[in-house]
Every structure is written in structure tokens, then in C-alpha cells.
Amino acid sequence: MSVSKGLLFTRVGKTSIIPLYIKIVTIFLLLILISNLTTNFINLSMNRSEILRLAGELLTKELKELYVFSSNQYQIYVFDGDAAASQEALEVAASTNLRLPFSTAFGIQPDSRILFRAVKDVEGNFPFADLKFLEEWNRKREAGQEDGEAKFIMGGRTYFGFYKYHPNWDVYLVRAEDEVTFYSESWGIFIRVGIIILLLTVAIAWLGIVLLRRIFKFVDVITQALFEMQRTQELRIIELGGAPNDDITYLGMSFNALSTTIKNLMNIFKKFVTKDVVQQAYRQRYVSLEGTQKDLTILFSDIKGFTFMTETLGTDIINLLNLHYDRAIRLIQQNDGIIGSIIGDALLAVFGTLEGTEKNRSLSALRAAFHIQRVASQLREAMARKKEDLLAKKGELTPQEEAVFKAVLLEIGVGIDGGKVFYGRIGSYVHMTNTVIGDNVNSSSRLEGLTRVYKVPIIVSELVRDEVMAVNDDDYIFQELDTVQVKGKTTGKKVFWPIETAALTEEIRKDLALFQEALGLYYSGDWTEAKKLFARVKSPIAQVFQERIKSAKNPPLGWNGIWTMTTK
């Protein structure tokens, strides 16, 4: 799963992981914005109510002044009879107190005729959209109410104000303001204050992110460490150096304690189960009772003369086994093998179960086999040096000491075979074990048993030889030993002795070539000539054939080159 870190968040696969402090800042910013904007709106509404009240007082005052002026002008009209002059005077007087755009003052008669009208910054006709307000005023006047609030639409604009009936002129005097124009300034103030609030909020947000990021620094450290653990599928300790004494640090320390405990348990777990099971348990968090058929390579090793060693060393045999197995198991695992089982002096290893190791499984098994032989050889050499040192000091050893030295000279036989086997977990969900089952598993054990017969350290099957040669034909040669039918089998199979090319000398090559020639005569049934050649072979591998020919003299009836083994 890919993990990429952005400026404010981390992306895990297709999912964006938003830091905790970003969420906290966002929530607080929303609350602050809602609170400030709501407060600003409430303040605006309250101010508008107060402004409306003051405007009402002012409009009422101006309407009274217009009413008085209209009364005086009526007297002038009665005196000179010049109606046009009086109307013009009324319009001029009405225009005097108009300050805002579209402010208006006019006189309208009950039958909707206009006596005079003045509108700020507007020339020409400015018709009413609806005269229902006039009908309402007429009804109220008939009921005895001659003044009140004025709400109407004129020139497509909504107005509010006050009216008062003038009986002399038989006209309603109106002083009103355009709502949009009247409230535009307050809305402008609201917008400007809102912008200021927004800018302050952004500044506070930036400051909050800086401060919270510092406060939550180790949340980010813990999160990034967990991402890395998820990516690598490996637990580790989170570095908390310099962390403050708070609950976040306690959370990290608790995780470290838990991680240490789990790692200890995992280390113990790894010692009792195979590596592939550990990988499955760590990735899938579950191990089930199941198995599949796989092409695997099986290595079986056994310690020769183990009964004598146990009788001689007693309980100290455990120390010797642990000394050998500690090195052998490490070498097997270094060559991508897993330990199938350990039963006393016998060890079963499986190759090809780990991802990416399928192709080289037989080569890995063979390399591990040679490493195991070197470990045993080094132990024998070390014991030989100790014996020489002891002889130099004492002159001779007691029979018991001689027996001990003989017991610790480990001789290891290794058999390797491969093919399709059942590999998986068996048992119950109370207790299960990893196992490998199949004829090829048993065959590897039989091949190990043949190392005692042919006096060689390692014997492999034809399948193993072919798989090794397919990927590496330089480091090893394979000397055919025999075609045998091991006990419990009904068919014969060729067995081979692998030899490192680096260890070959010209003398050894000639000796092996002579053995191969003798083996061909042996297969063909010409045991007389084969016996002569086997006698010239210096390698111990010829001894078994010499003894076999000597005891039988002639090939068995129906000889097909396959020797049937009567023992394991």
C-alpha cells in the first residue's frame, strides 16, 4: 500500500488521512465564523431597528413640516387662486428634505390624482405599481384615522414612510424612503465587517494550525511511524525524544510498551513456527487449518551413530544437539528454507514455501546441505584440536574420554528429494501444527539412509539434480550412484551424489569416470567386468558394489539394473 505525505494530509492508497489538528481548527473556525457572523447579523438587525425608529421620527417631523407648509400654501392659493404656483411651491418644499437617492415626498388625492410629487435624483414620471394602499387609507380615514405608516411600490421600488391627510387640499401627504437605498449602507457595513471577520478568522486559523501543529507534533510522529509499520509489516519503537508530558506522549509510550510485548511474543512465535506461517499471521491476522498441494524440495538430515552418542554423553547430548542445530538451522533459513520438524537427531527442512523462492528451491536446499556438512566438519576439527591439546598435556586419554571424543565427532547424512506434496496446517483450532506430507518427504528420509550405504555425505534424487542443473550447472556435478528401489516403494529411482566443482581434482575426476564406466557394466549385467573396474575405484562408493557382486556373483534372474533395498 502506497503512502504519500502532502502539505496538510497524508494519502494512504486512495484514502486521505486528515491530521487531527486540521479537524480541530476547522471545527473551531466554523464555530467562530457562525458565532461572529450571527452576532454581526443580530447587531445589524438591532441597529436597523434603531435606525428605523430614528428614521420614523425624522420622517414624521419632516411630514409635519410639509403639512404646515401645505396649510400655509393653501392660504396663499385661496388668496391668489394660482393653483399651479401652489403645486410648484409644494414640490419645491417637498424636495428640500430629500437626501438619499429615490427619497420621495408627494401629495395624492383619494381618487389617485397626484397633487405634487418629488423624487430624489429622478426626473419624469415615476408610476405606482399598485394603489391598494390608497384604498386602505380611504377606509381608515372614513373610520376616523387620518395618518399612519405608508408602504407602497413606486417605480418598481418598495417604499416605507408615513402619510397624513390634509383636508384643505383633500390630499394625503406622504414622506417615504426607498428600502433598498435606506438599508444599503447597513448592508455595506455588514459585508465589510464580515470580510474583516473572515480575514481575522483566516489569520487565527493559520496561527491555530501553527500552534496546534506544534502541540500535536507527536501525534504526527506517531501516525507516520504507524504508516511506516503498516507499509513494512513490522513493529518497531516510536521515537518520542523531547515529547512533552501529556496524554499524547503517554499514548505513544503505551504503544511502545505494547509493541515491545508483541515483538517479544512474535520472536517467541517465530521460534516455534515456520517463517511463512509468521508472515501469514502478521498480514492476515489469521491462520486456518488448511493446506494445498505444492511443488517443494525436502531436505532430511540425520546424525549417524546417535545411539552411541546418547549412551556416552547422557543428558549432555542436548548441549551437543543445540550446538549443531543452532548453526544448521540458521544456515537453512539463510538459504530460504523453513524447518518442518526436529525429532531428536533428525531434522526436516522444506524449500520453496516462501514467496519468490520457488524457482531456486532445489539449489537452495543443496547449498544448505553443504553448509550443514561444513558446520559438522568444523565441529569435528575443533574437537580433534582439543583432543590433541589434551593428549599433549596428559599423554593419553582414559577409555571414557576416548568414548566422549568419539561421540562428539558428528557425522551428518543428508537426503534431498522434491515434487508435489501436501503442505499446510493440520490438527485442531485448539492446537495445530505446520506439516508437509507426501511420498517425496518419505523419499528424502530414505535417501538420507542411503548415505550410510554408499559412504557419501549427501544423496539427492534425479528431480533435484535436474532442477539444480537448470538454474546452476557450474558449481556442482552429480555422480550417479545407483538405481534403487527403497523399502516401501514399488519402483526404482536413480540416486546421485552431488559434489562441488571447486573440490574436484583431476584424480577425483578420473576416479569418478572409472566408477561411471563400472556402473554402466553393472547395469548391463556384465558383473565380471564391472567387478574388475570397481576394484580399481579408490572412492568408498565402489565398496557396496564389490560386496554386492561378491555375495551374488551373478545378476539376479530378470535383472533390470534396479537394486531392491531391504532396510530403511
Is 538's pLDDT higher than 90?
A: yes
- Mean pLDDT along residues 202-221: 71
Q: Are strands 114-119 and 104-108 parallel, antiparallel or unpaired?
A: antiparallel
Residue closest to 365 by CA, chosen among 340, 407, 405, 335: 335
- Number of domains composing the chain: 4
In whole angstroms, what is the distance from residue 47 CA to residue 45 CA?
5
Is 4's pLDDT higher than 60?
A: no
Task: Please tell me whether residues 131 and 70 are part of one structural domain.
Answer: yes
Task: Please tell me whether residues 373 and 445 are part of one structural domain.
Answer: yes
Q: What is residue 187's predicted lDDT score, i.e. its pLDDT?
A: 62
Task: Please tell me whether residues 461 and 546 are part of one structural domain.
Answer: no
Is 318's pLDDT higher than 70?
A: yes
- Residues 335/371, Cβ–Cβ less than 8 Å: yes
Task: Please tell me whether residues 451 and 312 are part of one structural domain.
Answer: yes
Read off the pLDDT band of 285 (50, 70, 90).
low
Task: Please tell me whether residues 164 and 113 are part of one structural domain.
Answer: yes
CATH number at residue 169: 3.30.450.20
Task: Please tell me whether residues 255 and 362 are part of one structural domain.
Answer: no
On the 0-12 / 13-18 / 19+ scale of CB atoms within 10 A, 234 is exposed
CATH number at residue 456: 3.30.70.1230
Instruction: Determine if the pTM surpasses 0.85.
Output: no
In whole angstroms, what is the distance from residue 450 CA to residue 179 CA?
111
In whole angstroms, what is the distance from residue 262 CA to residue 269 CA?
10
- Mean pLDDT along residues 121-148: 87
Q: Is residue 491 part of a domain?
A: no
Q: What are the pLDDT digits (tens) for 106-130?
A: 999 999 999 999 888 887 677 888 8
In whole angstroms, what is the distance from residue 491 CA to residue 564 CA?
9
Task: Please tell me whether residues 453 and 513 are part of one structural domain.
Answer: no
Q: Is residue 197 part of a domain?
A: no
Whose grid coordinates read 569416470? 513
Q: Is residue 210 part of a domain?
A: no
Highest mean pLDDT among 433-447, 460-474, 482-496: 460-474
Highest mean pLDDT among 103-107, 231-235, 259-263, 288-292: 103-107
Is 258's pLDDT higher than 70?
A: yes
Beta-ladder partners of 413? 302
C-alpha cell at 69: 407648509
Q: Residue 548 belongs to what domain range?
A: 496-568
DSSP classification of residue 121: T
Task: Please tell me whether residues 245 and 182 are part of one structural domain.
Answer: no
Task: Please tell me whether residues 394 and 426 are part of one structural domain.
Answer: yes
Residue closest to 447 by CA, chosen among 469, 470, 475, 419: 419
Task: Please tell me whether residues 168 and 45 are part of one structural domain.
Answer: yes
Q: What is residue 272's predicted lDDT score, i.e. its pLDDT?
A: 64
In this structure, the number of other CB atoms found within 10 A of the CB of residue 423 comes to 24
Q: Is residue 70 part of a domain?
A: yes
Task: Please tell me whether residues 259 and 355 are part of one structural domain.
Answer: no
Is 37's pLDDT higher than 90?
A: no
Out of 187, 208, 233, a domain closes at 187
C-alpha cell at 385: 584440536
Q: Is residue 56 part of a domain?
A: yes
Q: What is residue 467's predicted lDDT score, i.e. its pLDDT?
A: 94
Q: Is residue 565 part of a domain?
A: yes
Read off the pLDDT band of 411 (50, 70, 90).
confident
Q: Is residue 568 part of a domain?
A: yes
Q: Is residue 384 part of a domain?
A: yes
Q: What are the pLDDT digits (tens) for 458-476?
A: 999 999 999 999 998 889 9
C-alpha cell at 170: 383633500
Task: Please tell me whether residues 101 and 233 are part of one structural domain.
Answer: no
C-alpha cell at 17: 488521512
